[in-house]
Amino acid sequence: MKRVKIALVQQTCCDDRQANLAKSAELIHKAAAAGAELVVLQELHAGLYFCQVEDPTLFDQAESIPGPSCELLGNLARKLGVVIVSSLFERRAPGLYHNTAVVFEKDGSIAGTYRKMHIPDDPGFYEKFYFTPGDLGFTPIKTSVGTLGVLVCWDQWYPEGARLMAMAGADLLIYPTAIGWDPADSQDEKERQRDAWIISQRGHAVSNGLPVLAVNRVGFESSADVSACGIQFWGSSFVAGPQGEILAEASRDCEEILLTEVDLERSETVRRIWPFLRDRRIDAYGDIVKRYRD
């Protein structure tokens, strides 16, 4: 266990896939030059957030894993000697697609994958149309910088996923994200939503005694539905320590590389004074697997 220098890449995206990937590559280069050992990219960083509408032609954006983006990112990981957490639209088989995080080891190999488990279906976020829920479970991915509990966006609202990753030995909880405001919302509503997003993930850090890395996209993306307002992604990528303390936070409206250092040994210290795992009443939690207690 050690201190790990991490970088969260918060970027805008456009409708040019190659331009987005080139920008991600450029920012990964800069992060590595600044000393980052672990670089985390935002959700679906290769393109616009296409789930604002339901359109069968958009499935054409998906790719196999491994595939072209994996080759690019694997080569970068090997060249720069960094671990990279990416987020891709996976074509698993005809008619079967996932929202998948891929982790690349420093030698360029794929250390592991995670398929998004919780899939939203809300105005502007029609992900159930595109993504099959993950079937790989909540399994941390072992890398040279630590064991990574990678989850994706909507997963961040569910304490169960964070807990299961922690119970399986994760050293870090990582959430690539694409979340933003409806521009028509009031300013008070926007602040409540952003605060809830931050609070929920800081809560995962506290209840599990683990650092949390949350990386969000930034900028306005219009919708193909002319009656919709589009999404203003609020950035605000952040790193929290195992007591929920904010170690670093990015802006709401700018592209940037958020750099900080995380002490992985601190989790042991925190868990000794706040032994939540010790005091869990596992004998009384059977109803947690029910949809609702009537």
- Flag whether 227 is in a domain: yes
- Flag whether 276 is in a domain: yes
Which whole number is the average pLDDT over 148-168? 98
- Flag whether 15 is in a domain: yes
Task: Please state whether the predicted TM-score (pTM) of the whole model is above 0.85.
Answer: yes
Report the catalytic residues.
43, 116, 153
> How many whole angstroms separate alpha carbon 81 and alpha carbon 71?
15
- Flag whether 118 is in a domain: yes
- Flag whether 48 is in a domain: yes
- Flag whether 294 is in a domain: no
Looking at residue 294, what is its pLDDT?
85
> How many whole angstroms separate alpha carbon 132 and alpha carbon 60?
16
> How many domains are there within the chain?
1
Looking at residue 227, what is its pLDDT?
85
The dihedral of CA 62, 67, 68, 69: what is its sign? Answer: positive
Looking at residue 40, what is its pLDDT?
98
In this predicted model, what pLDDT tens digit does every residue of 242-265 receive, in sequence order? Answer: 999 999 999 999 999 999 999 999
> What b-and-e string marks burial along 258-286, b requiring 16 or more CB atoms within 10 Å of the CB?
bbbebebebbeebbeeeeeeeeeeeeeee
For residue 276, the SS3 value is coil
In this predicted model, what pLDDT tens digit does every residue of 162-180 receive, in sequence order? Answer: 999 999 999 999 999 999 9
CA separation, residue 98 to residues 89, 131, 219 (Å): 6, 5, 24
At 1, is the pLDDT very low, low, confident or very high (cuts 50, 70, 90)? low
The range of the structural domain enclosing residue 233 comes to 3-289
- Flag whether 9 is in a domain: yes
Residue 170 belongs to domain with CATH number:
3.60.110.10
- Whether pLDDT at 74 is above 80: yes
- Flag whether 69 is in a domain: yes
